Structure 1
Amino acid sequence: MAVHNKDLQTSDYAAAVPPQPAWSPLWTGTIEGGDTDFFVSRGYARIVANPRGVGKSEDGGSRAWDCYDIIEWIARQSWCDGNVGMTGISGFGAEQLAVARQQPPHLKAIFPFDPRGAYGELGGFRDEYPGGVIHTFRYILSLLSVMHETRGRPGDLSPEAEKLWQAAIDNPDYKMYPNVYNVLTMKGQIYPQFFNFLINPFDSEEAVKKSEAEFKKVMVPTYTGSGWYGYTYKTHLNGAQHWFREINAPKKLLFTGPAHLERPFHSYHGEILRWHDYWLKGIDTGIMDEPPVKFWMMGANKWRYADDWPLPETRWTKFYLHSWERLRTAPFAPSSIEDYEEPDAFLQMPPTHTRKIERLRYMTGPLPEDILVAGPGALYLYASLDQPDTNWIVILKDVGPDESVRTARPGELDTPADLKERELTRGWLKASNRAVDPRRSRPWEPWHPLTREAAKPVVPGEINEYAIDILATANLFKKGHRICLDITCLDLAEGISGATGVEYIPYHICSSKTTVHKIYHNEKYPSFLLLPVIPDIEYQPKKRKVKSPLKV
């Protein structure tokens, strides 16, 4: 089901624009339906359709039920044996899961890769904006269509929405970004989805409960996943994990490498074919004999299987933040000199005054052996501010190789400044959204309500704990490398008018106030990074023999 212009998904267009890597200037995310020629040449009929209200279809109707009707119409055609599957990524993936909840009887399997968020309608607030930190992905999708465009007098909002809009239009953080402010002035005429998140940047308990109930409705075999590029989108990487965890149906999970998929989308079609051959044609492709989780290990640059996600054998390891930029596994000694350590601090001016991004950095020493980190993580940070709010942005990196030591000798006073570093993943939390729901939280996944009711401004000078969810990754830190954690509160657009070089790497709306951040680390305030360390790097789960389904 096409949520974008279906003309871009055709074989004719693919012939004109061969697959482009993510760094190509012709790469565009909307060409994500898949390779029609590939599937047709292997015994499938392929239909690309727009539900009403999408593309060139007329308005009205229900997207989910329109998709239901199309599937059942396909099943009645003479060229169809009654077994229907679905493919496609991103918006196409979200549509698959939306229609799966309606349970059309002839839908036999889906492959929603990069499926958008699991909580909310077709990807909601929680998975797209971790920690409640607003970013500009939805603006970038409509790049250059909002900054220079007006559409006459905006319509009237409801009294409730008008009140929210007035607070948003007066928000100095929004006013700092002309492109964001212009979206607000148009009152939803331009990119209404982004507008709605701007005036109401919160989740709701009702939306979460509704999603939790609807997970049970997905009963069709589901193969989902994302890639390690997905932490920039956030919605896809979060959504794939949450769908895999929550649905009760035959399921598999795939995490690919850090480079985004080429467009037109044609990647992993062999895996898609194996999945649909198994469930639609009853061919024993062996795909269900394999363990349910497959992921790419960065650093090692090879595939690995797992029995579940997070991996059952995970050794959750705490790396404590110390002074002098150190990151160590040894806990703080009680009643010791470490109790007197002063907090680390950084001061960040807003982008109205500087392009310089300040940070604190913490690193292990050169690792004595290879360490595999695979799964989600978290940072438990004790900190104070001198303002009512900030955005915590934390970045996990692989730094090295580095065999240097630090001594008092000349040339050995500091860590070498020219070390190679590779960014792996990030985490975000708006300080006012620091409240945690212990019922839904896991140590590696602190659950923040992110509701308007739970939001609480920071009391300047007060020390609070901030539990920051770090999006999943899988990386082999090799011997001699360092595990590195950067803590900051700002990122920036790469161009004018809020433009950025790559649509899936957005920037975040930061504080308009100069803010001092202090990080505490001692026995009373033991700030630590929690990482999923896998003890046996070479372990691979055994395959199991599963009986192939009978062809209907």
Structure 2
Amino acid sequence: MPLPIDRVLPAPVPPQARQYRVRVRDGVRLATDVYLPPSDPPDQDEQGGLPTVLIRLPYDKNSRYVFTDRIAERFTAHGYAVAVQDVRGKFRSEGATLPFVHESADGYDTIEWITHQAWSNGRVGMFGDSYYGNTQWAAVAAQHPALRAIVPRVTAADFNAMFRDAGREGGRDEGRGGVRELPPPVWREGVGYFAQHWVGRDTYAYEPDPAQRPAIDQYEQAFTAIGARSAWFSLLAPNRVDLCTQFGRHPFDARPVPVLHCLGWYDNIVRAHMRDYLDLASRPEWDAVQYLWAGAVDHENYRLDNAPVAAEDDHATDEAALTRMLDGYLDPAVAFLDVFLQGAAPVSSLPKVAWELGHAGWRTAASWPPPQARPVSFRLADPAAATGPLPGGGLVTEDGTVADGSSEVSEVSWVHDPEAPVPSPVENSFAYLQTHPDLAPLAARADVLAFATAPFAEPLDLAGPVTAELRVASNGPVFDVFAKLADLAPDGTARLVVRGQVQADDRANGPLHIDLSHTGYRVRAGHRLALLVSSSDFPLFLPAPGTGENPWTATAVRPTTQRLVTGGDRPSRLTVTVLPPETD
């Protein structure tokens, strides 16, 4: 039966925009909408020009999904011109459909074009999410002197990090021969993005059956039906190679520009974005102009305060909800660009770090993590109870530190069956908070381990990195370990706080280090922290087949047994970063 494929064509250009064809250095023309303020715009400079906000994206500049007309309305009301561009090879723009390769040069040439327009005062800032956050870093690498500030949201300077942080940089095995970098589990959802958005000028939406083997076959069927294929998909599946997503100078080696990093605690690529911020904050020449905004939001800008999201609060479908969402989405960017593009407020008016403590509101800090935060570790205890429902085994501290070998060595095993993998709690991890599901049913499975603290008598405020060191081995050649930290409520429901995953092999005989990312989150009084450990998360990730073969091309599978060991002088442990208790 043919795979149903929906071809998504460009939406009409809105009447308030004028579309231009911007010719770049190799003759390719890029479709660019320009929005200008009303006839009497505020705060023009002496020459009558305006600062410009540039947005370069591959998702159809006129689609309801990216709502750039609504974004432009907010910026033009503050005295900005706005230029929104389909990147090369997408929708109305000419050129080959190939991500990353031309973004640096095309960004430079577009900024150069802006500076020669009558409505421009020669100062440009950039804004946008995800891929169009990455196009900002590509422009930074090109070093056009007119680029004065950027606001990358839920993104990464190197898209490779989205795939590497699942394992190569998010986890390692301290086994024989010292620290050894690990490859990541196969993020099917992430690789599938390239198969749908980068196979041609338009987007092709289709839903392959994730249970079919080999997993790659239905994607190949789709490419045949479309009459084109995605070069980047071919690199990632089945080859699983590193992608060179920045060509020429790396943006961090370029001239520093002011950056407002906007990331979400529930964004599925938050590790990569936080790594960018921490890297630049460690460089004196960049740190001076680095700013962080970190909210309890996911990749699609759903908020923890609204989760799970009711229909009337869903900005993807409800216009009033979109209007409400835009306040929190755009206000930090407007305030930031007002400082660095318009000089409307002093630099001192901007907090270096503005961050949301989930369930407890917004805070500011001089740096991240907040200077007063400290690590607290919990050792995994009573593993025999971990295969049952929550609360399962224990997460135990003694006077705020890990017990130093006072517990006996113990272990627990579970079976990973590729034919019956642990189901993913959401269909779309980019919009995790849209449903924010209860993880307690997963914890009750025999192939999921669960460990929990005792209920906290007082609130526990998490503010910084979360990591796990798990002593896990397998009788299979290659295996995955997924770790999810949840808030276990008194009513028995468990909601995700952070997550991480690594891949290991049969040589692993030391602890697996799993980066569960950073968070700002209040565990309320009476609640517990719960750690869930499994070997699959399907279909967001392809399950390890148990044979050592590539999960994209494997046709045969076999169950494997994983074994977690804790206690003694090297217990498996969870480490969180906490703030001191609040005092009146």
TM-score by length of 1: 0.69
The one-letter amino acid of 1:374's match is A
Within the candidate set 210, 215, 240, 2:252 is matched to 215
In the alignment, is residue 329 of structure 1 matched against residue 397 of structure 2? yes
- TM-aligned CA deviation for residue 309 of structure 1: 1.7
Q: Distance in 2 between matches of 1:68 and 1:538?
A: 51
Within the candidate set 268, 272, 283, 2:329 is matched to 268
In the alignment, is residue 67 of structure 1 matched against residue 117 of structure 2? no
In the alignment, is residue 257 of structure 1 matched against residue 296 of structure 2? yes
Secondary structure (helix, strand or coil) at the match of 1:311 reads coil
1:49-102 deviations in Å (ceiling 9; x for gaps):
234333332226932112111112211222111111111211111111110111
List gaps (5 residues or longer) in structure 2: 1-7, 18-62, 172-183, 200-209, 302-314, 317-321, 386-392, 424-441, 546-556
Secondary structure (helix, strand or coil) at the match of 2:78 reads coil
Percent identical among aligned pairs is 24
Distance 1:175 1:423, change over 3 A: closer
Aligned equivalent of 1:436: none
Q: Which has the higher contact order (CA 8 A, sep 6+)?
A: 1
Within 5 Å, give how 1:37-436 maps onto structure 2.
37-59=73-95, 62-115=102-155, 117-119=156-158, 125-127=163-165, 130-131=170-171, 132-141=184-193, 177-183=213-219, 189-203=228-242, 214-231=251-268, 235-236=272-273, 239=276, 242=279, 247-248=286-287, 250-258=289-297, 260-261=300-301, 262-263=315-316, 266=326, 267-284=328-345, 288-300=348-360, 302-323=361-382, 324=385, 325-330=393-398, 331-334=402-405, 338-339=407-408, 341-351=409-419, 358-401=447-490, 419-431=492-504
- TM-aligned CA deviation for residue 333 of structure 1: 4.9
Q: Distance in 1 between matches of 2:247 and 2:256?
A: 17
Secondary structure (helix, strand or coil) at the match of 2:484 reads strand
- TM-aligned CA deviation for residue 463 of structure 1: 3.2
Q: Distance in 1 between matches of 2:102 and 2:189?
A: 25
Distance 1:332 1:128, change over 3 A: closer
Q: Is the 8 A contact 1:120 1:211 kept in 2?
A: no
- TM-aligned CA deviation for residue 232 of structure 1: 6.3
1:16-72 deviations in Å (ceiling 9; x for gaps):
xxxxxxxxxxx9855568611111222111111234333332226932112111112
1:349-390 deviations in Å (ceiling 9; x for gaps):
113588685211111111122111112211011122111111
Which of the pair is proportionally richer in strand? 2
The one-letter amino acid of 1:367's match is F
In the alignment, is residue 470 of structure 1 matched against residue 470 of structure 2? no
- TM-aligned CA deviation for residue 299 of structure 1: 2.8
- TM-aligned CA deviation for residue 200 of structure 1: 3.4
Within 5 Å, give how 1:8-19 maps onto structure 2.
10=14
- TM-aligned CA deviation for residue 139 of structure 1: 4.9
Aligned equivalent of 1:544: none
The one-letter amino acid of 1:298's match is G
Q: Distance in 2 between matches of 1:354 and 1:396?
A: 16
The one-letter amino acid of 1:487's match is V
Q: Distance in 2 between matches of 1:477 and 1:298?
A: 9
Q: Distance in 2 between matches of 1:293 and 1:5?
A: 40
The one-letter amino acid of 1:268's match is Y
1:253-304 deviations in Å (ceiling 9; x for gaps):
11112354245783422221111111111111x564343111111132x001
| Higher mean C-alpha displacement, 71-80 vs 185-194 | 185-194
TM-score by length of 2: 0.65
Aligned equivalent of 1:523: 568
Q: Distance in 1 between matches of 2:581 and 2:249?
A: 34
Q: Distance in 1 between matches of 2:70 and 2:260?
A: 15
Q: Distance in 2 between matches of 1:88 and 1:270?
A: 13
Distance 1:479 1:40, change over 3 A: same
Q: Is the 8 A contact 1:139 1:194 kept in 2?
A: yes
